[in-house]
Amino acid sequence: MISTQLLYALAGVGLFAIGLRATLLHHLLLPRLLALNVCGAGVFLIFIAIAYAGIEGMPDPVPHALVLTGIVVAVSATAMALALGRRLENIKSDAIKSEATKSETLKSAAVKPEAMNDE
Amino acid sequence: MIDSLAVLAVFFGLFFFLSGSIGLLRLPDVFSRLHALAKADNIGLAFVALGVILLEPGLLNDIKVVIIWLLVMAASAVSSHLVARRALRKERDDD
Amino acid sequence: MISAGAASSILTIALLSAVIVLLLSLFIGLIRAWLGPSVEDRFSAVLLIGTGGVAILMILAIVLQISALYDVALVLALLAVVGTVALIQSERTHD
Amino acid sequence: MIEILWFMVDVMLVLLLLALAWTTCSSRDVMRAVTLFIAMGLLLAIIWARLKAPDLALAEAIIGAGISGALLLSAIRDYPSTAIAVDRSPLMHSIINTFTMALTIVMSWAAWHGLNMSDGVRLSEQVASQLAVSGVSNPVTAVLLNFRAYDTLLELAVVLTAVLTVLILNDKRADSTAPGPLLQGMTRWLVPLLVVTSGYLLWVGAHAPGGAFQAGAMLAAAMILLQLAYPSIHQGFNLYLLKILLVIGIFIFVLTGLWMMSVNDDFLAFSPAHAGTLILVIETAATISIAAALTLAYIGGRPTGWEADNHGNRAMTEKGGAE
């Protein structure tokens, strides 16, 4: 039983490490988010490995409850991060557009970048 | 007796699963791969479900297994169709 | 629940080997997901994991004697479609 | 013999998981990464089932396979390039690798040491001894909604905060392709099934794996499927009702807590006689709120007509941001 727990706990550690390495290496938001989710899955796995009590035994329900809330929080945090990322992309593409218009008509572009700085 | 029959059914299903995934790996294009996959989905799971029903004494659970099998059948038909249509559309766009 | 004693331990051995074979078939399918080349190829591998997962969950429900795992299998069968639909609808409009 | 077979199953599951995680994280193509991530979610559901955590397996099957899959796949559309480039300098690369390796060794040692230490007070025994007075017989539900109800209340608040952020940012996703007739036909029979399953999961949560989170996620998956098949359907939502649904979970939770405070002198301390009913009421409200929250999070912005005066959503946000 301890070997099963150890196996899954070490797998959790491995998952966390893989996710952490990728989070640090990537620049783009989406791969980073995926990597962070992998990281989180590793932490969940460590929790559940510790809660495990053998084929016959009843596992500890407290870590199960914690991880359950963790899964739901992780998905809402991912949705939030994606919304933030969309915002950034929109600002970037707006900025490119306003750069383009600036070179053509000077006046109309002057307002937009300022509004962007405030956000 | 029933146990061995059930195990036989499960192993028969496994054969379809294995051949389905080998087909997924070896066949040349998306459409034939999806065709191989459908074998695993429908027949393989049908035999595994049969084995499970033979082993499971609870009637409610037996009904659940049947529902699961029907759902997987419907889902795999729809999913294969959708995936294949997407692949076909892309192929046409490329030409 | 299952017929007691020595028979059930043989049954467990048979079912566990079935799980191992199913995992092997998932692994073969996953090679297709890794190789690709197209999105559809990868996704057919995911479909295989969905179906194989349903089979594994049903067998685990018997081995571990947790009937809630049938619910998990049911949910997995239902939700596999949502993923496929999301994939099909994820095509870019400006491509 | 049985132990060896179990060990083989475990090793295969772990190897598959690690391989999937590695390929997800090292993919050069966003689509490949997301597809492999969805596969990893499915595999995790099997692993939770193997580790005798059916509650988690349910949640992971719904959220991992359905909701985050749909969320991430639709997010791909918002990104202009699908290629993932890693352009860290070689020095930075090796620093990150060394740091991760060191951390892995320390954490492995900690896991090994922690598992070999003698057990402290096992919380499972405390839960088992108090289960009779919790009002439900599923220990995970008992922990979530009775013993550690504070956690769950705050967790609902966290989900609400995340959704409010999404609503404030209000940058909608790019439009998807037009759905085909087969998809719409399938949606018509699948969505009712998903809703019924959600109700089943909510009801069964009192004595078997299931409960508010799984039911709420299932309902949200139904709404997301509807949204995928009929992209403009959220324009028909009753927004006044939607705003209420979004907060009703926390509202009922706090209200019950305050009521219990007036009876038992303690916030959220349920009297054993009413605990079962109260938990069901709270769970129903929480299910609705979680479903509304996850659906809005997927839509990624305010449905049309969210503001009362409806002067164009973007203009409102811009003004709000500048003040």
Q: Looking at residues D103-122, what average pLDDT do you find?
A: 79
Q: Å from D229 to nearest chain A CA?
A: 20
> Judged by CB atoms within 8 Å, which residues 36-95 of B form the interface with C?
37, 40-41, 44-45, 48-49, 52, 55-58, 61, 64-65, 67-68, 71-72, 75-76, 78-80, 82-87, 90
Q: Is the pLDDT of residue A102 over 70?
A: yes
CB contact at 8 A, D308 and D177: no
Contact B78 D180 (CB under 8 A): no
User: Average pLDDT, stretch A98-119?
Assistant: 58
Q: What is the residue extent of each domain of chain A?
A: 2-118
Percent of chain B with pLDDT over 90: 15
Lowest mean pLDDT among C50-59, D82-91, D279-288: D82-91
- Band of residue D287 on the pLDDT scale cut at 50, 70, 90: very high
Residue from B81, B88, B90, B93 whose CB has the most chain D CBs within 10 Å, to mutate = B81
With a CB-CB cutoff of 8 Å, which residues 21-80 of chain B face chain D? Answer: 71, 78
Q: If you average pLDDT over residues D180-192, what whole number do you get?
A: 84
Chain D, 65 to 94: residues with Cβ < 8 Å from chain C are 65-66, 69-70, 73-74, 76-77
Q: What is the pLDDT, as a whole number, of residue D118? A: 59
Chain A partners of D10 at a C-beta cutoff of 8 Å?
Answer: 4, 7-8
Q: Is the pLDDT of residue A103 over 50?
A: yes
Residue bearing the bigger pLDDT, B56 or A47: A47
**Nearest CA to CA, how far is C11 from chain B (Å)?**
7
Distance CA D52, CA A1 (A): 13
- Judging contact as 3 or more Cβ pairs under 8 Å, the answer for A and B is no
Residue A57 dihedral angles phi and psi, to the nearest 5°:
-70, 160
> Are B27 and C31 contacting, i.e. CB atoms less than 8 angstroms apart?
no
Confidence category of residue A11, pLDDT binned at 50, 70, 90: very high
Structure tokens at D199: 């109700």
Instruction: Tell me the C-alpha distance between C19 and C14, whole Å.
Output: 9
Residue D293 confidence (pLDDT)? 92
Residue D312 has pLDDT above 50, yes or no: no
pLDDT of residue D45: 93
Average predicted confidence (pLDDT) for chain D: 83
* Res. D309: pLDDT tops 80: no
Confidence of residue C91 (pLDDT cuts 50, 70, 90): low
Omega before residue D179 within 30° of 0, cis: no
Answer yes or no: are the C-beta atoms of C2 and C62 closer than 8 Å.
yes
Distance between first and last Cα of chain C: 57
With contacts defined as CB-CB under 8 Å, which chain D residues touch B85?
Answer: 180
Which residue does chain B place closest to D181, by CA atoms? Answer: B82
Picking from D56, D21, D25, D14, the residue whose alpha carbon sits closest to that of residue D40 is: D21
Instruction: State the pLDDT at residue C22.
Output: 92
CB contact under 8 A, C32 and B33: yes
Residues making up chain D, counted from first to last: 323
User: Residue A31 and residue A34: Cα distance in Å, rounded?
Assistant: 5
State the pLDDT at residue A100: 78
Longest dimension (CA), chain C: 64
User: Distance of alpha carbon D10 from its chain centroid, rounded?
Assistant: 26
Judge: C54–B17 Cβ closer than 8 Å, yes or no: no
| Banded pLDDT at D316 (limits 50, 70, 90) | very low
Domain A2-118, what fold? Helix Hairpins (1.10.287)
Could you report the per-residue pLDDT of D226-260, keeping only the tens digit for each?
888 887 777 777 778 888 888 998 999 888 888 88
Q: How many Å is the Cα radius of gyration of chain C?
A: 17
Q: Can you give the residue ranges of every domain in chain B?
A: 2-94
What is the C-alpha to C-alpha distance for residues C77 and C83, in angstroms, rounded to an integer?
Answer: 11
What residue of B is the nearest CA neighbor of D180?
B82
pLDDT exceeds 60 at position D266: yes
**pLDDT number for residue D323:** 33
Of C18, C48, C88, the CB nearest to B20: C48
**Average of per-residue pLDDT across B53-71:** 88
CA angle centred on B82, ends B81 and B86, rounded to 5° = 115
pLDDT of residue D257: 86
Share of chain C above pLDDT 90, in %: 31
Chain B residues closer than 8 Å to D183 by CB: 82
| pLDDT tens digits, C25-43 | 999 988 888 887 888 888 8
CA distance A98 to D70: 32
Those of residues 28-47 in C touching chain D at CB distance below 8 A are: 30, 33-34, 36, 39, 42-43, 45-46
* Structural contact between residues A9 and D115, judged by C-beta atoms closer than 8 angstroms: yes
- What is the per-residue pLDDT across B5-36, written as a single tens digit (0 to 9) for each? 888 999 999 998 888 888 888 888 888 888 88
Chain B residues whose CB is inside 8 A of the D182 CB are 78, 81-82
D1-87 carries CATH number 2.40.10.10: no
In whole angstroms, what is the distance from residue D98 CA to residue D231 CA?
47
| Helix-, strand-, coil-residue percentages of chain B, each rounded to 5 | 90, 0, 10
Mean pLDDT of B59-64: 89
Of D37, D64, D173, which has the smallest distance from its Cβ to A34's Cβ?
D37
Tell me which chain B residue has its CA closest to the CA of residue D182.
Answer: B78
As given in the structure block, the two tokens for residue D163 are 């959704």
- The domain spans of chain C are 6-88
Separation CA D215–CA D109 (nearest Å): 38
Question: How is residue D23 annotated by DSSP?
Answer: H
Nearest CA to C43 among C87, C75, C82?
C87
Question: ipTM value of the model?
Answer: 0.88
pLDDT for position A106: 59
Cβ–Cβ of D152/A13 closer than 8 Å?
Answer: no
Q: Identify which of D64, D82, D59, D69 has the alpha carbon closest to the alpha carbon of residue D17.
A: D64
Per-residue confidence band for D90, with pLDDT thresholds at 50, 70 and 90? confident
Residue with tokens 């620049």: A27
Q: Is the pLDDT of residue C2 over 80?
A: no
Say if the Cβ atoms of C69 and D54 lie within 8 Å.
yes
What are the beta bridge partners of residue D83?
D29
Token digits of residue C16:
């566990």
Neighbouring chains to A with at least 3 Cβ pairs closer than 8 Å = D
Whether residue B82 lies within 8 A of chain D, CB to CB, comes out as: yes
Query: How many CB atoms sit inside 10 A of residue D231's CB?
Result: 16
Tokens representing D165 are: 């952020």
Q: How far is A110 from chain D (nearest CA, A)?
A: 16
Global pTM reads: 0.88
For an interface test with C, give the residue of B68, B76, B80, B89 to mutate (most C CBs within 10 A): B68
Closest-CA residue to C58 (of D306, B56, A13, D40): B56
Compute CA D6 distance to the chain's CA centroid, rounded to the nearest angstrom: 30
- φ and ψ at residue D98, rounded to 5 degrees: -65, -45
Residue D175: per-residue pLDDT: 65
| Residue A25 to residue D93, Cβ atoms within 8 A | yes
pLDDT of C70 over the 60 cut: yes
- Higher per-residue confidence, A43 vs B79: A43
Q: What percent of chain D has pLDDT over 70?
A: 89
Per-residue pLDDT, averaged over A54-61, amounts to: 82
* Per-domain boundaries in chain D: 1-87, 136-323
